[in-house]
Amino acid sequence: MLSSGRPPAASYVIIDAENVDWAVSNVVGRKPEPQDRVQFDRLVSFCETHFPNPVRCVVVLNARGEQLPDAMIGFVRALKSAGCEVALLHGRSDQKVVDLGILKLLEAIRTQRPGAAVALASHDGADFAAALRPLLEEKRQVAILGLREHVSSRFRELVPSGLEILDLELNAKVFQRPLPRLLPVRVDEFDPALFL
């Protein structure tokens, strides 16, 4: 499955773009504007500094059929120019196409790329936490990239096993402008000057 003809990557970043967009929509309270969306070139740059190189970023998308909709063509081109590879998938209406594709990628990385680091940009622990557990048991570097207030409790349960949770805004700095988030702050880090 991972035989692209290129040498294997040391790290694989799998991006569930629809799930990330869902979390951003929840934060901004509307359909995100371009300034609210992930800047994928920044995400690639962050991953190249945080994970072992070479890094391969793969965005998994539901193409919704055998022909790519015109509305998606520009987005796919932008992803490719940002340094991402795009897995365009389609399936039956009853299939969770993106989730199935991500699960297949995670399994292929586990079985075909021993030791490779894995980062998953998604908040969906119900579908993916169980697939990350074997990677953590192998003592690989494994991370979740997301907005921390939307990261599934199932992912948080894996933190003692070595899962790293990285915030797309605070750690990776992938947005053009600050998101209007309601984030609790540790009392030890609380700056009362912000309220004076």
Q: Sorting pLDDT into bands at 50, 70 and 90, what band is 1?
A: low
Q: Mention every residue, 6+ apart, whose C-beta is less than 8 A from residue 6.
A: none
- Confidence (pLDDT) at 2: 59
* Architecture, CATH, for domain 11-194: 3-Layer(aba) Sandwich (3.40)
Summarize pLDDT for 135-187 with one digit per residue, the tens: 999 999 999 999 999 999 999 999 999 999 999 999 999 999 999 988 888 89
Q: Is 11 helix (H, G, I), strand (E, B) or coil?
A: strand
Quick: pLDDT tens for 29-80.
999 888 899 999 999 999 999 999 999 999 999 998 888 888 889 999 999 9
The position carrying tokens 């936490």 is: 129
pTM reported for the whole predicted model: 0.90
Residues forming a β-bridge with 90: none
Helix residue ranges, H only, 90-146 = 97-112, 125-137
Q: What is the three-class DSSP state of 1?
A: coil
The predicted-structure confidence for 82-116, as pLDDT tens digits, reads as follows 999 999 999 999 999 999 999 999 999 999 999 99
